[in-house]
Amino acid sequence: MYEFDYHRASSVADAAGALGKADDGSLIAGGQTLLPTMKMRLASPSDLVDIGFLEELKGISVEGGGVKIGAATTHAEVAGSSDVASNIPALAALAGGIGDPHVRHMGTIGGSVANNDPAADYPAACLALGATINTDKRSIAADDFFTGLFETALQEGEIITSVTFPGADKAAYMKFANPASRYAMVGVFVAQTGDGVRVAVTGAGEDGVFRVADMESALGGDFSSGAISGVSVSSDGLASDIHAGSEYRAHLIGVMARRAVDAANG
Amino acid sequence: MPTVSMTVNGKSVSGDVSANTLLVDFLRETLGMTGTHVGCDTSQCGACVVHVEGKAAKSCTRLAVQCEGAAVTTIEGLASGGDLHPMQEAFRDNHGLQCGFCTPGMIMAGVDLANRRGNKLDEDTIRNELDGNICRCTGYHNIVKAIAAGAAAMDK
Ligand SMILES: Cc1cc2nc3c(=O)[nH]c(=O)nc-3n(C[C@H](O)[C@H](O)[C@H](O)COP(=O)(O)OP(=O)(O)OC[C@H]3O[C@@H](n4cnc5c(N)ncnc54)[C@H](O)[C@@H]3O)c2cc1C
Ligand code: FES
Ligand code: FES
């Protein structure tokens, strides 16, 4: 890791100020993605501004039938929250399946969403549930937030403060985890709400998380796994790497989607 | 260089370190406490697991400066005097180690698991919760047995 200066922010405003003054500053929350990246020298910020300790970014509150989760809330806190479990159990289960217990103790939802790793779990939940990503400047719909591989709508220096998830009538997430890393090789989040059905896929897309319109319309008419057994997903635009080819990923999307619908109905 | 102060195994410690010093290097190099191991340095193996504010964390994926003011527990902090911690004792009794390289992290993960999930742990739970700890020797069976026995013994 290259040298850098470290600032522990005292507030979101203080963090924004410190970032603004830095040459090439970066926020750090849980550090579970940034520190490994810096060790590999794929990132070399001049300054780290630590927002992981800010109470104003922590905590979970119930809003309508959904939840609002502070950006610095850890995966373990989301997984263990009775408010999340009772309002959106699929979201609590998703958080409990991220990485391993040690990663879940430190990693945060804000860091995960900001990073938009193509194999991360939270982006699928955000997209399928129609979440809103709130920052120190504005609120961004999930549909507009995830713009590509490790790319988001966040501007330079913009800080995520919380993520709001509306509730769903039925929802479930099924992940085919890479056995070594636990990241999703394919993960499918299915949600049924008054507005219809949304199906979001992570782990598979070359450009990150995406929705499957054919499955959404089939499930809109009949929310059963049988309704999508005939829907095939094209392998065009899907990732191919040492873990899985794009054809296999396309197949897994169908399998995981059907399992998710069964689980949501379960 | 920033000065970092924290509590390690109940004792106040401090040292001057550059901001890019990892917690594990602070423990091993600055404090000379070499019980915490570095297996991969890429956040995968769990040999470096310690407890930060009572929660298991990979000390190769935490900066020393992030632990300013924190309470840290390492493998050296488990035994009291000559008496091994029940989880350490269980690893010995169940032959839960061969070379011993992964063992500090396994034991710290096992204690954390018992703290979070209670003293009656079934095999599935233990295996799932060991996702972040890799052992190249044992094949895990005896580690799983040791953690079940250690967790049960922690109840007493
Ligand atoms: C072994 C291992 C296994 C893992 N497995 C999985 C997995 O199965 N699924 C999964 O989804 N993830 C996985 N992860 C990643 C993990 O979930 C990370 O916690 C997460 O991706 C990043 O969160 P963080 O708080 O650690 O962010 P950091 O590493 O601190 O930051 C990541 C990036 O986000 C930016 N950032 C952080 N917070 C904010 C904010 N509030 N506003 C704007 N930008 C911000 C930072 O500047 C940085 O660029 C794994 C990680 C490891 C080490
Ligand atoms: S040395 Fe920290 S996880 Fe391997
Ligand atoms: S006992 Fe040798 S690595 Fe686990």
- Among B42, B77, B112, the domain-final residue is B77
Chain position carrying tokens 């985890």: A177
Is the domain of A70 the same as that of A160? Answer: yes
DSSP element (H, E) containing A164:
strand A160-165
**What tokens does B136 get?**
């190249």
Find, among A193, A211, A189, the residue nearest to A261 by Cα.
A189
What is the span of the domain harbouring residue A190?
170-264
Chain A partners within 8 Å of B39 (Cβ): none
Start-to-end CA distance of chain B, whole Å, equals: 45
Is the domain of B63 the same as that of B90? Answer: no
DSSP element (H, E) containing B151:
helix B141-154
- Among B77, B94, B119, the domain-final residue is B77
Tell me, what CATH number does A22's domain have? 3.30.43.10
**Residues B21-38, buried b or exposed e (16+ Cβ, 10 A)?**
bbbbbbbbebbebebbbb
**What tokens does A262 get?**
């069964």
Tell me, what CATH number does B94's domain have? 1.10.150.120
What is the atom index within ligand 3 of the atom nearest the CA of B39? 3
What is the span of the domain harbouring residue B60?
3-77
Q: For chain B, what is the mean pLDDT? A: 97
Q: Extract the runs of DSSP E, i.e. beta strands, from B39-151.
A: 49-52, 55-58, 71-73
Tally of domains within chain A: 3
User: Cα B16 to the chain's mean position, in Å?
Assistant: 24
Is the domain of B98 the same as that of B73? Answer: no
Give the mean pLDDT of B96-108: 98
Is the domain of A73 the same as that of A111? Answer: yes
Going from the Cα of B96 to the center of ligand 3, the distance in angstroms, rounded, reads 9
In the prediction, which pLDDT does A182 show?
85
Phi, psi (rounded to 5 degrees) for A224: -140, 155
Tell me, what CATH number does A210's domain have? 3.30.390.50
Is the domain of B104 the same as that of B124? Answer: yes
CA angle A198, A204, A206 (to 5 degrees): 110
**What tokens does A260 get?**
């998710």
Contact B132 A35 (CB under 8 A): no
Interface probe for B, chosen from A49, A102, A175 (most Cβ of B below 10 Å), is A102
Is the domain of B90 the same as that of B117? Answer: yes
Distance CA(A189)–CA(A91), nearest Å, equals 9
Contact B44 A3 (CB under 8 A): no
CB A100 within 8 A of CB A132: no
Tally of domains within chain B: 2
**What tokens does B92 get?**
């010995």
Is the domain of A34 the same as that of A70? Answer: no
DSSP code for A111: H
Give the model's confidence band at A168: pLDDT under 50 very low, under 70 low, under 90 confident, else very high.
very high
pLDDT tens for residues B9-31?
999 999 999 999 999 999 999 99
Query: Residue A247 corresponds to which amino acid?
Result: E
Tell me, what CATH number does B26's domain have? 3.10.20.30
Residues β-bridged to residue A135: A160
Share of chain B above pLDDT 90, in %: 97
CA-based nearest distance A6→chain B, Å: 6
Is the domain of B51 the same as that of B18? Answer: yes
Q: Which ligand is nearest to the CA of B139?
A: 3
CB A113 within 8 A of CB A126: yes
Sequence-distant contacts of B127-131: CB under 8 A, at least 24 apart? B129/A100, B129/A101, B130/B106, B131/A99, B131/A100, B131/A101, B131/A182
CB B33 within 8 A of CB B74: yes
Give the model's confidence band at B152: pLDDT under 50 very low, under 70 low, under 90 confident, else very high.
very high
CA-based nearest distance B136→chain A, Å: 14
Is the domain of A216 the same as that of A141? Answer: no
- Among A165, A190, A221, the domain-final residue is A165
Share of chain A above pLDDT 70, in %: 100
- Among B55, B77, B99, the domain-final residue is B77
For a ligand 2 pocket test, name from B27, B34, B45 the mutation site with the most ligand atoms within 8 angstroms of its C-beta: B45
pLDDT tens for residues B122-135?
999 999 999 999 99
Give the mean pLDDT of A76-80: 98
User: Cα A175 to the chain's mean position, in Å?
Assistant: 13
Q: Does A39 touch chain B (CB under 8 A)?
A: yes
Residue B156 has pLDDT above 80, yes or no: no
Is the domain of A92 the same as that of A36? Answer: no
Compute CA distances B15 → B26, B36, B58, B68, B71, whole Å: 8, 18, 20, 11, 15
Burial category of A161 from C-beta neighbours within 10 Å (exposed 0-12, middle 13-18, buried 19 and up): buried
Is the domain of B68 the same as that of B10? Answer: yes
For a ligand 3 pocket test, name from B136, B142, B145 the mutation site with the most ligand atoms within 8 angstroms of its C-beta: B136
Is the domain of B119 the same as that of B64? Answer: no
In the prediction, which pLDDT does B19 show?
97
ipTM confidence: 0.97
Going from the Cα of B127 to the center of ligand 3, the distance in angstroms, rounded, reads 16
Give the model's confidence band at A181: pLDDT under 50 very low, under 70 low, under 90 confident, else very high.
confident
Is the domain of A70 the same as that of A125? Answer: yes
Q: Which residues line ligand 1 (CB under 6 A)?
A: A 26-34, 36, 51, 71, 98-99, 103, 107-108, 110-112, 114-115, 117, 120-122, 154, 159-160, 181-183; B 43-44
In the prediction, which pLDDT does A94 show?
98
Is the domain of A81 the same as that of A142? Answer: yes
Tell me, what CATH number does A124's domain have? 3.30.465.10
Closest CB to A36 among B19, B43, B65: B43
In the prediction, which pLDDT does A42 show?
94
Regarding the beta carbon of B143 and ligand 2, being less than 6 Å apart is answered no
Distance CA(A263)–CA(A168), nearest Å, equals 14
Distance CA(A185)–CA(A203), nearest Å, equals 5
